[in-house]
Structure 1
Amino acid sequence: MEIGITGIGSYIPSIITKNEDFLGHTFLENDGSHFPQGNAVIIEKFKSITGIAERRYAPSDLKTSDLGFLAAQKAIEDSGIDPEGLDYIIFAHNFGDLIPGKIQGDTLPSLATRVKHLLRIRNPKCVAYDMIFGCPGWIESAIQATAFIKSGMAKKCLVIGGETLSRVVDKHDRDSMIFSDGAGAAIFEANPKSGNVLAHASATYANEEAYYLYFDKSNDEDACADTRYIKMNGRKIYEFACTYVPQAMKDCLDKSGVEIKDVKKIFIHQANEKMDEAIVKRFYRLYQKEVPQNIMPMSIHKLGNSSVATVPTLFDLVTKGEMPEHKLKKGDVVIFASVGAGMNINAMVYRY
């Protein structure tokens, strides 16, 4: 049975926050001490490593579930399906619905249920649930959707990845500049006119790696003691990703039966430009090959890291012609890959 993506859509928020907008922030070390260098130096070094020049933030009246709904609408329209025929709605996120100024994430009901409600789907056999798998959540949801369809439990699945990370970052932490908001969604169907999932691979490393990303208090000791923010050990994450993601991608590609020379694009989680480049370079090195030119579309420079939303959003931009330097034609083989909190990694080989 072939299983393909028949519709894709994304919601990219309209609020642009540039690097220079952080010049007035008070950045502090984890222990609350001040950095010896000024913000201009911190920001320039940040850009040279991550590649990020600006990022998108959602307007305050839109929650994560709203972003997911807007992306889902576009995917459904793109596919041409009747949403009443959906068997599953899977929503990948990490923090639920976040309201600016509030200290709790809201996941009651699930974000997938909220999207089903907003889509006005009345069919009770359309099952809606959330996926918590760190940044690789959208790919993992796609893997589950593929399994449901392959087993005969479903024919059509809506897979969403959305996040509003701008509402869970510590403004005194320089890592706050990495994160952004957005949502992407796709329809997976059995026996599509074109497209097919060829292979997938997933893994969780949860010993010393488990808390490379975690929740903790602000770097400012005078901030609210009850509020927690996303924190990370950037160096450990970089080393982990460069060590394990290339092999996961190779395992997945080898399982698919596709040769490395036939891969046309790699859609990798937009976490850090230098890290992504290193991952892809090491992946090709496993085959003793040089990295082909123009193999890896990148949106992080303008959109930042929106966690689960980066891969479907990037795929949507390319397939809709929004990144003209990257083109796909029917039959091209691509790889989706991601790494994130858990620590989780996954990959999927897909024939477009």
Structure 2
Amino acid sequence: MTSKSLITAIGTYVPAKRLTNDDLEKMVDTRDEWIVQRTGMRERRISGEAEFTSDLCIKAVENLMKTYDKKVDDVDMIIVATSTADYSFPSTACKVQEAFQIKSTGAFDLSAACSGFVYALTMANGLISSGLNKKILVIGAETMSRVIDYTDRTTCILFGDGAGAVLVEYSKETPGFNASIMGTDGSGGQYLYLPGLTGGNRFLVQNGREVYKWATRTVSEGIERLLAQAGMGTDDIDWFVPHSANLRIIESICARSGISMEKTLYSVEYMGNTSSASIPLALDIGIKEKKVKHGDTVLLYGFGGGLTHAGAVVKWGVPDLDA
């Protein structure tokens, strides 16, 4: 299918509260130096008691509208990638629809953990390119702090909260999606999961060692497949934006795939692992640092619980802020 869609705007939001490594030293047996050495993380953002995933989504969309002078009342689909929805139903996407009083739109949540944002982007491209939709809000948002055990030093140092939203619009003249892949290894689900109706507590469980081994191998192989599909090499990529799970995982993936860390964007240092929100947060950082420009070729790659992974090569269609 020929792509007929383009990412035209982006907005983000993170809560005001910061959880620093020094704060964590007072909560569990850990040290700032150890956390930085193992993960590259220094801070994460934590939602307030009355601040839920839908609230983060709404503020990210408001930021998108204000920054790029966009309206969303004519959006005809809302896709929210999240593992920490306010409710099982109504969906978080329905809460977004309510907030902006969008009169005629579909709305649903997508569950693919840390791969969710790229999954949702790929779906949006398919819906638009097939002619079913014209303008889609894609949001990756999480309140991971609500599912983390803050007495477990192996997980509480990793995760933070945040949201990122993009607008994907019909564009016959400037197709924005060059290639995409998705993959799953359900047998690895035991290494990273969030209990639900199967029982147990509601805290996230992770075997970091196993996830690290799977991610570094799978993502580097996926990048090779993705570039082959796009007919490109690493030199054709302006920016690489992987899921910000852990800076050491990102460094290993770059070493294996031959992508320079100098053209790799991440949000992990001051926001932690925000799951489905980490890629749009990293993109927004790249924009604010005057790195990501209109027309750049960007390789996005999400990976995480499921175990799932998804990659996309896109032409960046968002206007430069100083244009």
The TM-score, its normalising length taken from structure 1, stands at 0.84
Please state whether the residue corresponding to 1:253 is helix, strand or coil.
helix
Please state whether the residue corresponding to 1:279 is helix, strand or coil.
helix
- Select between 75-84 and 295-304 the one with higher mean Cα deviation: 75-84
Classify 1:111/1:199 alpha carbon distance in 2 versus 1 (closer, same or farther; 3 Å): same
Q: How does 1:340-351 map to 2 (within 5 A)?
A: 340-351=304-315
Tell me the alpha carbon deviations over residues 89-123 of structure 1, each in whole angstroms, 9 at most, x when there is no partner. Answer: 000100212xxxxxxxx232100000100111122
TM-fit CA distance, 1:195:
6.4
Identity of counterpart residues, as a percentage?
A: 30
Does 1:116 find its partner at 2:118?
A: no
What number of residue pairs does the alignment pair up? Answer: 311
| Counterpart pick for 2:183 among 200, 203, 206 | 203
Letter in 2 for 1:39: T
Letter in 1 for 2:305: A
Please state whether the residue corresponding to 2:299 is helix, strand or coil.
strand
Q: Name the larger-Rg structure.
A: 1
Distance 2:175 2:262 in 1: 22
Q: How does 1:1-352 map to 2 (within 5 A)?
A: 1-26=3-28, 38-40=29-31, 43-97=32-86, 106-123=87-104, 126-174=105-153, 175-191=155-171, 196-207=176-187, 209-215=188-194, 227-284=201-258, 291-292=259-260, 294-319=262-287, 321=288, 323-324=289-290, 327-352=291-316
> How large is the Cα RMSD of the aligned pairs?
1.9
Please state whether the residue corresponding to 1:294 is helix, strand or coil.
helix
The TM-score, its normalising length taken from structure 2, stands at 0.91
Please state whether the residue corresponding to 2:44 is helix, strand or coil.
strand
- Structure 1: 5+ residue runs without aligned partners? 27-37, 98-105, 218-224, 285-290
Tell me the alpha carbon deviations over residues 103-154 of structure 1, each in whole angstroms, 9 at most, x when there is no partner. Answer: xxx232100000100111122xx10000000111011000000000010001
- Select between 232-241 and 260-269 the one with higher mean Cα deviation: 260-269
Distance 1:215 1:293 in 2: 31
Please state whether the residue corresponding to 1:135 is helix, strand or coil.
helix
Tell me the alpha carbon deviations over residues 278-337 of structure 1, each in whole angstroms, 9 at most, x when there is no partner. Answer: 0121112xxxxxx43511122211111111000011112222x2x34xx13333211000
TM-fit CA distance, 1:60:
1.9
Distance 1:74 1:252 in 2: 31
TM-fit CA distance, 1:47:
1.9
Distance 1:150 1:141 in 2: 14
Distance 1:71 1:150 in 2: 25
Distance 2:189 2:260 in 1: 34
- Structure 2: 5+ residue runs without aligned partners? 317-323
TM-fit CA distance, 1:261:
1.0
Classify 1:61/1:199 alpha carbon distance in 2 versus 1 (closer, same or farther; 3 Å): same
Contact 1:145 1:159 (C-alpha < 8 Å) held by counterparts: yes
Tell me the alpha carbon deviations over residues 244-301 of structure 1, each in whole angstroms, 9 at most, x when there is no partner. Answer: 11111121121112232111110111000001110121112xxxxxx43511122211
Contact 1:195 1:331 (C-alpha < 8 Å) held by counterparts: no
Distance 1:179 1:195 in 2: 35
